[in-house]
Amino acid sequence: MKIIDFHMHIKGGDRDRTEATGEEIIKIMDRAGIERSVVFSICISAREGNLKTYKEVKKFPDRLIGFATGIPAFNTNVCEEIERAVNEYGFKGVKVHRGIHTLEGYLIFPLIEKCIELDIPCLIDCCAEFEPVKEIVKNYPSAKIVVAHLGGEDQTVLEKLLDLANETENLYFDTSYVRAVGFIGKAIEKVGSKKLIFGSDGPLIPPEIDIAKINFWKLTEEEKEDIFYNNAKKLLKI
């Protein structure tokens, strides 16, 4: 079965700000049987992060898919940086992180509008905050929004997000670093395989672990293909 990993770090957000080379990531992907991976750099400036990601992606353009680092702020034009990363580097999406910046509309809405203009998905780590995701999805029904880690570790937030996904067409979830495996089962039950996308949060987290978390559930081959490959392929237009 083909696998796309939707959540892999060149530079991570862990305590040590772990960094990985393209060669290291490819080795991990080969070990886990992953065909392609979305990669990005966080906890760093957008310009520097995008350049760091691009240097590794261009080594393996058929295996690694770059996402821009999106850091909305008053003193930088994040939209110009995203457009540059897409047009010059060939990046296919944007990653934003609540742990690094606010998701308040006055900052995040222009970024979402740029993603719509460029027709690219936005991967959001909302750090278990529901309202910002709701505001984004409701205000921008044509945006392609993927919530990382099933939203976080709060079951109440997860259930609200799953209900929101059933009310809208444009909200998806990646399954990376979900420590409560039951959350994955709940998501499969409530929104089905068409709204879930495999991710590992590697290379810090071995992808084999998160692959096993999906395979634990009794899924049809079609459902597995949706989660491991088809949904990501559709959003990334590859």
Q: How far is CA 143 from CA 116, 172, 204, in A?
A: 5, 11, 29
Query: Which residues on neighbouring strands pair with residue 73, listed in sequence order?
Result: 76
Average confidence score pLDDT of the chain:
94
Residue 112's H or E segment, with its range, is helix 105-118
Most confident range (mean pLDDT) of 36-45, 69-78, 119-128 is: 119-128
pLDDT attached to residue 107: 81
User: Does the pLDDT of residue 74 top 60, yes or no?
Assistant: no
Residue 95 contacts residue 123 (beta carbons within 8 Å)? yes
CA 143 to CA 120: how far, in whole Å? Answer: 8
Q: Which are the contacts of 62, defined by CB distance < 8 A and separation ≥ 6?
A: 36
Chain centroid to Cα 92, Å, comes to 11
- pLDDT tens for each residue of 182-218: 999 999 999 999 999 999 999 989 999 999 999 999 9
Q: Buried b vs exposed e over 158-175: b needs ≥16 C-beta within 10 Å?
A: bbbbbebbeeeebbbbbb
CA dihedral 18, 86, 96, 50 (to 10 degrees): 30
DSSP state of 196: E
Whether the pTM exceeds 0.85: the reply is yes
Model confidence at 45, pLDDT cuts 50, 70, 90, reads confident
Looking at 11-20, 45-54, 220-229, which range is the least confident one?
11-20
Full DSSP string of 22-91: HHHHHHHHHHHT-SEEEEEE-SS-HHHHHHHHHHHHTTSTTTEEE-EE---BTTB-HHHHHHHHHHHH--
Q: What are the backbone angles phi and psi of residue 56, rounded to the nearest 5°?
A: -85, -35
Residue 166 contacts residue 201 (beta carbons within 8 Å)? no
Q: What percent of the chain is predicted at pLDDT more than 90?
A: 81
Q: What are the backbone angles phi and psi of residue 23, rounded to the nearest 5°?
A: -60, -40
Q: What are the backbone angles phi and psi of residue 93, rounded to the nearest 5°?
A: 180, -175
DSSP E strands, the chain: 4-11, 36-41, 64-66, 68-69, 94-97, 122-125, 145-147, 171-174, 196-197
CA dihedral 130, 133, 134, 140 (to 10 degrees): 180
Q: How far is it between the farthest Cα atoms of the chain? A: 49
The letter for the amino acid at 53 is: T
User: Does the pLDDT of residue 75 top 60, yes or no?
Assistant: no
